[in-house]
Structure 1
Amino acid sequence: MKKRVLILGILVILGLALSMFLTTGGSAKQTVSPDTKTGPELKHSLPQPGDSAPDFVLADMEGRSLKLSDLRGKKVLINFWATWCQPCHDEMPELVQKYEEYKDKIAFYGINLTNMEGGNLSEMRNFLQQYHVSYPVLLDKEGRVANQYKIIGIPTTLTIDANGIIVDRFTGSLTETNMERMIQNLLKR
């Protein structure tokens, strides 16, 4: 049963990735910004730079809740990920390094797509230990927040300014250069 769910999840992600690839003119990695040329249906459906970040409440692995709007006044970086996602593995060491470097200036949060993990918290804990992730990880158990943010591929990273406005959105594994650019754009706000 778990294999079928995993295979179905992978097929859905591959289908969404192909759709994104075709929609973006062949570029699977894309930063969505106000001046990015995308299909009108994609541009208007994604919460994107300049939009208010949709509010949500999620619990962490210990059951403590976090409401995004309670972070107003702080700069925030959110990274949507899953343990089975190889690009999530690829970018995690750099993300952890940036957290250590900027944790006094930016609130980092991981959002695990728990609805696609099969509820395996021990696997998530192993992943977090493997990469020494010390920033808070929130569990999107029903996929509601991923739906609010129109997450069509993972990892997806967003930065949000102190007023709750999305500064940047990037789908795909971030390189050190792209991650630093997003952070610097956020710090300027």
Structure 2
Amino acid sequence: MLKLNYNRIALLACLFVSNAALAQGETVAQVELKDLRSSRTTVSYHPNKPTILMFYQPGCKWCKKQGETMARLQKQCSDSIHFTLVGDKGTRSELKRELRHFSDVLPALQNTDVFARQSGGIIGFPTTLVIDNNGEILVNNRGMMKDTIINRLANQLTQGLCSP
């Protein structure tokens, strides 16, 4: 238990140094969101592993850049971390069309007002959430996260199992 708390503190400290906006005890419920790549619905975070979730909007060049990093990590770390995109500020067809800029390995969902409120609101794009298995938001970061920060995050979340 002490090691888990130490790792969580280390993760939050490294993100704070990188100007990340930290969430304070917020949680999100398992909300079902529509999958943009199919007609299924799926939950917003994974109950068996941490989730790194990125909100994107049409035309967001920083979202596309961060999406490349997330796709690379998804290929390397999918056993340990769940990655997902959540489209916002566009119609379903606009959000689906925008997916051409993102890797097919990244699950893509459509945001709802309920999920946006539970997530602490989306002020800018990309907004990145790190969610633990219980839906607790560990990190709520507005703006593009540097590759080094996301890599460090993945490494910390998996206690060294995912070191790109």
**TM-score interval, smaller chain:** 0.7 to 0.9
1:84 is aligned to 59
Partners of 2:24 and 2:74 in 1: how far apart? 22
2:110 is aligned to 139
Question: Which structure is higher in helix share?
Answer: 1
Count residues with an aligned counterpart.
141
Match status 1:160 vs 2:131: yes
Partners of 1:186 and 1:53 in 2: how far apart? 18
The 3 A distance-change label for structure 1 pair 177 and 75 is same
2:28 is aligned to 53
Q: CA deviation at 1:94?
A: 1.4
Tell me, which stretches of 5 or more residues in structure 1 are unaligned?
A: 1-28, 34-47
TM-score, length basis structure 1? 0.64
Alignment RMSD, CA only? 2.4
Question: Computing the radius of gyration over CA atoms, which structure comes out larger, 1 or 2?
Answer: 1
Task: Tell me the SS of whatever aligns to 1:63.
Answer: coil
2:114 counterpart letter in structure 1: R
The 3 A distance-change label for structure 1 pair 53 and 181 is farther
Task: Tell me the SS of whatever aligns to 2:20.
Answer: strand
1:100 is aligned to 75
Residue pair 2:55, 2:126 contacting (<8 A) in 1 also: yes
Residue pair 2:64, 2:101 contacting (<8 A) in 1 also: no
Tell me, which stretches of 5 or more residues in structure 2 are unaligned?
A: 1-17, 160-164
User: Percent identical across equivalent pairs?
Assistant: 24
1:64 is aligned to 40
TM-score, length basis structure 2? 0.73
Over 4 Å off, 4+ runs: none
